[in-house]
């Protein structure tokens, strides 16, 4: 069985779509509702590095205190941005998924297919109706 962790926000449609794609591969992931249980600093920094991102690239501005905290200031250090994400987990963009094949911020949701070892088991459409996996379990290219 493949060990997969999703840092999930159940109120986010993209996060729910990613969870559905993981489950469609036959795996029940470890679900961490990161707003309730944020990662510790060392883990957050490790995931950012493994994803090949910078802390700024993981920051979420929409629906967060991003502007109020002045996080658009490009002179802020990576440490300051990580501190902000730890103090306000809503600033961590989601969903982050960790698999044996890597770590990714899965936006759009079908990006998770790049790091799933197990094939999709059937057709799957996102909540908005967009088909992303066909009946044979193959990824449908974006139009």
Condensed to tens digits (0 to 9), the pLDDT of residues 47-59 reads 999 999 999 999 9
Whole-model pTM above 0.85?
Answer: yes
Catalytic residue IDs: 12
pLDDT at 11 over 80: yes
Domain locations in the chain as residue ranges: 1-34+98-143, 41-93
CATH code, residues 1-34+98-143: 3.40.30.10
DSSP states along 6-72:
EEE-TT-HHHHHHHHHHHHTT--PEEEETTTSPPPHHHHHHHHHHTT--HHHHB--TTSSTTTTTTT
The fold of 41-93 is Glutaredoxin (3.40.30)
């Amino acid at each position: 069985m493949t060990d997969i962790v999703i840092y999930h926000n159940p109120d986010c449609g993209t996060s729910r779509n990613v969870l559905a794609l993981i489950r469609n591969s036959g795996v029940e992931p470890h679900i961490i509702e990161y707003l309730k249980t944020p990662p510790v600093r060392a883990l957050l920094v490790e995931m950012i590095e493994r994803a090949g991102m910078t802390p700024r690239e993981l920051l979420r501005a929409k629906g967060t205190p991003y502007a109020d905290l002045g996080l658009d200031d490009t002179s802020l250090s990576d440490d300051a941005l990580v501190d902000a994400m730890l103090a306000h987990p809503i600033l961590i963009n989601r969903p982050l998924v960790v698999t044996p094949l890597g770590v990714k911020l899965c936006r759009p949701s079908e990006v998770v297919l790049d790091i799933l070892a197990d094939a999709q088991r059937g057709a799957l459409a996102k909540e908005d109706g967009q088909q992303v996996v066909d009946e044979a379990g193959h990824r449908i290219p974006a139009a």
